[in-house]
Amino acid sequence: MELHVLNHPLVEHKLTVLRDKNTPSSTFRELVSELVMLEAYEATRDLSVVSVPIETPVAPMTGKKLAEPRPIIVPVLRAGLGMLDGMTRLLPTAEVGFLGMKRDEDHPTQQITYANRLPDDLSGRQCFLIDPMLATGGTLVAATHYLAERGAKDVTAINIIAAPEGIKYVEEHIDPSIDFKVVVCAVDEKLNDKCYIVPGLGDAGDRLYGVID
């Protein structure tokens, strides 16, 4: 597993405003999109490209374009939807799949899959899993293995914040045959007894879309 933590003053500034409990949902959504675009720049550094001959207004040349098959972005519902706009702004030609997972509250590292809108065959695809929080790590491992069962071998997770416990769990449980990377804006202090990240930013889904009972 390869972990990349962004170290940039713009990221720190935006993340501070994002964490503030007084930041309204409209600003929260915009900041999530902006942070994801900054993360996506790093996360897509190793995208596959092919050489393409073109002609500029001045001379012929050989440029680079993204290779086929197109990369696929997979938001983990529902909070991951808040990151989708930032990803598709940077990768407008990518396909988008959806994966619905929720934590089993009695077993925090176990997940319940309740929705799937993905191709049956992901062989040869570069996959980007997006979910704001890497807390216990259970969702990330389950989602990555879900993609791997469909042939994915190149998976990059993009999370805004992570807990050390979650990173450790992922390192210990991710299938080593997967080329797996994680990009985060920050690694926080710890998980509390409810498995929430401290200091964290609260429930990302609720702050994006409001509380649903």
Q: Is 124 annotated as a binding residue?
A: no
DSSP for 73-141? EEEEETTTHHHHHHHHHH-TT-EE-EEEEEEETTEEEEEEEEEEE--S--TT-EEEEE-SEESSSHHHH
Q: Is 78 annotated as a binding residue?
A: yes
Q: Is 103 annotated as a binding residue?
A: yes
Q: Is 138 annotated as a binding residue?
A: yes
Q: Is 121 annotated as a binding residue?
A: no
Q: Is 115 annotated as a binding residue?
A: no
Q: Is 131 annotated as a binding residue?
A: yes
Q: Is 166 annotated as a binding residue?
A: no
Q: Is 132 annotated as a binding residue?
A: yes
Q: Is 136 annotated as a binding residue?
A: yes
Q: Is 197 annotated as a binding residue?
A: yes
Q: Is 38 annotated as a binding residue?
A: no
Q: Is 151 annotated as a binding residue?
A: no
CB atoms within 10 A of CB 42: 16
Residues contacting residue 154 through CB under 8 Å, at least 6 positions apart: 125, 126, 127, 178, 179
Binding residues for uracil: 197, 202-204
Enumerate the known binding-site residues: 78, 103, 131-139, 197, 202-204
What residue numbers does the annotated binding site for 5-phospho-alpha-D-ribose 1-diphosphate cover? 78, 103, 131-139, 203
